[in-house]
């Protein structure tokens, strides 16, 4: 299985400041034939299902604010929230969909 490891486990950031979450995979999730990283980022608020924010490691899902951005390739990835808003308080997960079993990071709790 590909192990996904996020850091930190929790993070407190002031309103308007930048938040950065790291995700590392135990194997590369870059598919060489299409040069795509099979890596997604999800936001989960209490009592709600996860919501896809970023796919292919850096493509923002429709309707997601542009303060959210993803970067990285291979085994090292980052989710950045450029200017934290109150509604961004949530748990964030990375996930690889490169190969089954699809696996998630343990989650990062983001607080203000």
Two tokens at 26? 């135990």
Could you count the other beta carbons within 10 Å of the beta carbon of residue 95? 22
Question: For 45, how many CA atoms within 13 A lie in the half-sphere containing its CB?
Answer: 6
63 belongs to the binding site for other proteins (CB under 8 A) = no
Q: How far is the CB of 76 from other proteins (least distance, A)?
A: 18
Size of the site for other proteins (CB under 8 A): 22
Could you tell me which of 6, 42, 2 has the C-alpha nearest to residue 23?
6
Q: Which of 11, 13, 20, 51 binds other proteins (CB under 8 A)?
A: 51
Does 109 contact other proteins by CB under 8 A?
Answer: no
* Site membership for other proteins, residue 95 (CB under 8 A): yes
């Amino acid at each position: 299985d590909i192990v996904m490891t996020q850091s930190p486990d929790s993070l407190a950031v002031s309103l308007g400041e930048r938040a950065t979450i790291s995700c590392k995979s135990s194997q590369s999730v870059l598919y060489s034939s299409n040069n795509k990283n099979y890596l997604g980022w999800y936001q989960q608020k209490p009592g709600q299902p996860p919501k896809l924010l970023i796919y292919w490691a850096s493509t923002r899902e429709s309707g997601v604010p542009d303060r959210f951005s993803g970067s990285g390739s291979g085994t090292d990835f980052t989710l950045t929230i450029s200017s934290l808003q109150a509604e961004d308080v949530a748990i964030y997960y990375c996930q690889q969909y490169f190969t089954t079993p699809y696996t998630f990071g343990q989650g990062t709790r983001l607080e203000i």
